[in-house]
Structure 1
Amino acid sequence: MEDTKKYISLDELKKHNQPGDVWISIQGKVYNVTDWIKKHPGGDVVIMNLAGQDATDAFIAYHPGTAWKYLENLFTGYHLEDYQVSEVSKDYRKLVNEFSRAGLFDKKGHLVTYCISFVVLLLGMSVYGVLYSNNFWVHMLSAALLGMCWIQAAYLGHDSGHYTIMTTKNWNKFAQVLNGNCLTGISIAWWKWTHNAHHIACNSLDYDPDLQHLPVFAVSSRFFKSLTSSFYGRELTFDGLSRFFVSYQHFTYYPVMVVARINLYVQTFLLLFSTRKVPDRALNILGILVFWTWFPYLVSCLPNWNERVLFVLVSFTVTALQHIQFTLNHFAGDVYVGAPKGNDWFEKQTAGTIDISCSSWMDWFFGGLQFQLEHHLFPRMPRTHLRKISPIIQDYCKKHNLPYRSLSFFDANVTTIKTLRTAALQARDLTTVPQNLLWEAVNTHG
């Protein structure tokens, strides 16, 4: 029987990669997602990053089986000519099918209930310590408990942002806004915008926003050429001020982590009050107002300004542990410049991620993100299963000669500081970066 299918080449597909003309291929079938991208729940950035490419592995990673039926209305009638699947991708797709049949994407156990109860307990103890004690040390302990509450609430916000931890879509949205906006003051809309882009473009210097921290940090000397951020749509200028900060970044790393939340608050406000289209903007703003009502009021209940300042500082310092963890997972990973490619999903995730090895009793502390590679490969999988699949992922990495890096928390810190120090020393080389009066004033001798 004669093949009546219509085909286009990969080169032809690549031409449809601009706003207003967006095509992608999934399992060899070509789809026009130009209109769909405007209402895509995961945002437009993730689709645009893979526009004009085969996006099968990324689609499989992020969507349940029920999502496939919605593709048919977007089908162009074309198939991708010479569609091929690498051995790595074949094995990855087999794993997804096996885990799906085993129910690992749906079985959440009682972990969510335990986590919510823990967050409520930590918050309650913190508030009680502030309101019903006059002891300085009880107040500082309350600040530490609040910091730990923020960490655990952020993990719940992260989980609900990736998969449905509640029984319905609306309850899941409630969990996102409650844990993100109301409890931590960080918009879930901002988190989704940046985090989805991070997953798709893991460790791309110009496409992954989680690596774009100039003028404070630069994990690679490639930032010294003032890359243009595809995510933010602006140049990441490496000027004299950037060089000054980056030159000492291995010393400033931990102090900056203590105040990192301030930047997240700023980023939240910049997005929510921008002209950019923000899903559930009003709900996100309402959640932020809840946070900026209860948190300042709680701080104001302390007896004097010294305790108020110390309370905020202690809570931020505890929460810095989470910010450090987030950077340990990627700062020392392999980096690249350019857009992500749809045909090397598995390879890019293994190259750009670092796991944190710990005992199972410490899983609550890391929120499942110590299994960073496993989470990146299967973002819809509840964290309760990540330890279980870790040996399987290690075997597949070994089979395909791909890196699987798992370091202790201490070793991951050492590796990250070494990465920052290497870039810092390169930034000090006056022959490779622009001159700077501030730099010269600090570093001139004799």
Structure 2
Amino acid sequence: MQGVEKKYITPEELKKHNKAGDLWISIQGKVYNVTDWAKDHPGGDVPILNLAGQDVTDAFIAYHPGTAWDYRKLCFEFAKMGLFEKKEHVTLYTLSSVAAMFAMVVYGVLKCTSVWAHLGSALLLGLLWMQSTYVGHDSGHYEVMSSRQYNKFAQILCGNCLTGISIAWWKWTHNAHHIACNSLDYDPDLQHIPVFAVSSRFFTSMKSYFYDRCLKFDALSRFLVSYQHWTFYPVLCFARLNLYLQTFLLLFSWRRNVPDRAYNIAGILVFWTWFPLLVSCLPNWPERVMFVVASMAACSIQHLQFCLNHFSANVYVGPPSGNDWFEKQTSGTLDISCSSWMDWFFGGLQFQLEHHLFPRLPRAQLRKVSPLVIDLCKKHGLPYRSLSFIEANIWTLKTLRTAALQARDHTIPPQNLLWEAFHTHG
């Protein structure tokens, strides 16, 4: 960045930062403070602890393949071009559209008497939640505002206050997802037992290292998974209920250290004030139920999008390793191809691989860098899969159906005999 004074660190100063809680390393003449990142290092924190306070360029070369060097070169080129700073006006436009949609929803509920107007308001609210979530997602990855304080305000406003889903919960799970993309036992975004299973490997009741508990494949799980390709879309219509539950479980779990817990709790209290109040203004209970269900169903498109990006991609068991992180991102991720005018609808996340490789890159730049990512994948023989929305749905349903049929296999014993009571297919 222009105008930022360069700082120089001597080898003697670097050596002082070699203890847990104060970890610095040097790669190719650049010094990195990896204190907080060490626990998320794909290769584990031990290599960082052992090499802290030193120039680790040779170790980096030894343990990282050519993809890592080309990837770093691409990052450098993007930084040189200023792409990480060129956020353009996407956030301003999105927030303005969210404000306009919120006003229309309130007007539709309070001032209109037609049931169709109320239904339209509910569908618009679902779209509002989608767009607000995109801003919360973006602000969680990089600062979309002019200062750290404004950025945190955007997170709480767009996440907690408007959608009722805690930005603290999102960061907790989403960062783990990025680091361990499509690891069955480390990526929380694939751990949906007892409702969904994208791989028969879940049938062995594997341990979730993220949640630190066993994902039991019992009789109920076998029954639900056996029909998951039929229940997939209906379940997504009510997926927000689980997110609300996860938000409460995290924020009110005093055993876990939650950053900005008070702000997050205050934010969800705002949501659970205005949303029930708005619903209560509808004339009768049938319309209230319709409003809630329709708004969640409309927003289910976004939950579907998250599934399409990863459910039918390659999966693996175990922690990610530092020497194949780039490969894991490409094998575990699918892009959704669409016209540029649809970028607002998908929030930039249709470029899922580009986002995974460069999570701090503003969404306005993702379409621009996509050709470079494609070239990099071709150079190293790595997959770059970009499917239409329909094709991605077909791939996902095939994955779910394959696992569903495998779940019906009696050679895989359930955890208890209740399976027999639920076993209704022959």
TM-score under structure 2 length normalisation: 0.89
Look up the match of 2:194: 215
User: Does the C-alpha gap of structure 1 residues 151 and 400 become closer, same or farther in structure 2, counting only changes over 3 Å?
Assistant: same
Asked whether the 8 Å contact 2:195–2:225 carries over to 1, the reply is yes
- Does the CA contact (< 8 Å) of 2:42 and 2:325 recur in 1? no
Read off the aligned partner of 1:368 and give its amino acid letter: G
Corresponding residue for 1:59?
Answer: none
Q: Tell me by how many angstroms 1:391 deviates.
A: 1.0
Aligned AA (2:27): Q
Aligned equivalent of 1:301: 281
Q: 1:21 to 1:167 in 2, by over 3 A?
A: closer
Change (3 A) 1:313 1:82: closer
Q: Within 5 Å, which residues of 2 pair with 1:287-326? A: 287-326=267-306
Q: Is the 8 A contact 1:374 1:389 kept in 2?
A: yes
Shift of 1:188: 0.2
Report the Cα offset of residue 345 of structure 1: 1.9
Q: What is the alpha-carbon distance in structure 2 between the residues aligned to residue 254 and residue 444 of structure 1?
A: 21
For residue 224 of structure 2, what is the amino acid of its counterpart? F
Question: What CA distance in whole angstroms lies between the structure 2 residues aligned with 1:445 and 1:239?
Answer: 17
After superposition, the C-alpha distances for 1:215-252 in whole angstroms (9 at most, x for unaligned) are 11111111111111111111111111111111111111
Offset at residue 378 of structure 1 (A):
0.4
The 1:24–1:436 alpha-carbon spacing in structure 2 relative to 1, beyond 3 Å, is farther
Q: 2:42–2:179: 8 Å Cα contact kept in structure 1?
A: no
Partner amino acid, structure 1, of 2:408 = R
How far does residue 49 in structure 1 lie from its aligned partner after superposition? 7.1
Instruction: Report 1:20-59 matches (<5 A).
Output: 27=27, 36-37=35-36, 46-47=40-41, 50-53=44-47
8 Å CA contact retained: 1:22, 1:52 = no
Secondary structure in 2 matching 1:76: coil
Q: Which of 154, 177, 199 does residue 175 from structure 1 map onto?
A: 154
SS in 1 for 2:112: coil
The 8 Å contact of residues 330 and 352 in structure 1, kept in 2 or not, is answered as yes
Alignment of 1:241-252 (within 5 A): 241-252=220-231
Q: CA deviation at 1:214?
A: 0.6
User: Hey, what does 1:375 align to over in structure 2?
Assistant: 355
Asked if the contact 1:143–1:314 (Cα under 8 Å) also holds between the matched residues in 2, the reply is yes
2:21, 2:402 → 1: CA distance?
Answer: 42
Pairing 1:395-434 to 2, within 5 Å after superposition: 395-434=375-414
Q: How far apart are 1:270 and its partner, in Å?
A: 0.3
1:94-105 to 2 correspondence within 5 Å? 94-105=73-84
Unaligned runs of 5+ in 1: 6-12, 56-73
- Residue among 159, 162, 176 paired with 2:138: 159
Choose from 89, 101, 105 the match for 1:110.
Answer: 89
1:196 match: 175
Partner residue, 1:70:
none
Query: Quick check: 75-84 or 96-105, which moved more?
Result: 75-84
Asked if structure 2 preserves the Cα contact closer than 8 Å seen for 1:49 and 1:200, the reply is no
* TM-superposition CA deviations, 1:203-222 (whole Å, max 9, x none): 00111000011111111111
Q: Does structure 2 conserve the Cα–Cα contact (< 8 Å) formed by 1:247 and 1:425?
A: yes
Q: Deviations over 1:125-177 (max 9, x none)?
A: 11110000111100000000000000000000000000000000000000000
Q: CA deviation at 1:87?
A: 1.2
Gaps of 5+ in 2: 1-10, 13-17
2: distance between equivalents of 1:227 and 1:21?
32
Provide closer, same or farther for how the CA distance between residues 26 and 124 of structure 1 changes in structure 2, counting only shifts above 3 A.
farther
Q: Deviation per CA, 1:313-369, whole angstroms, max 9, x where unpaired?
A: 000000000000000000111111111111222111101000000011111100000
RMSD between aligned residues: 2.6
* Counterpart contact for 1:24–1:52, Cα < 8 Å: no
SS at match of 2:53: strand
Distance 1:401 1:47, change over 3 A: closer
TM-score, normalising length: structure 1: 0.86
Going from structure 1 to structure 2, the CA distance change for 1:75 and 1:243 (only over 3 Å counts) comes to same
Decide whether the 8 Å contact of 1:25 with 1:80 is kept in 2. Answer: no
Deviations 1:36-85 (Å, cap 9, x if unpaired)? Answer: 44xx7xxx863587322469xxxxxxxxxxxxxxxxxx943474775424
> Does 307-316 or 82-91 show the bigger shift?
82-91
Deviations 1:166-197 (A, max 9, x none): 00000000000000000000000000000001
- Match among 119, 137, 146 for residue 140 of structure 1: 119
Residue aligned with 2:367, SS: helix
Whether contact under 8 Å (2:145, 2:151) holds in the other structure is: yes
2:234 alignment partner in structure 1: 255
Give SS of 1:193's match.
helix
- How many pairs does the alignment contain? 406
CA drift of 1:112 comes to: 1.3
CA distance in 1, matches of 2:78, 2:197: 37
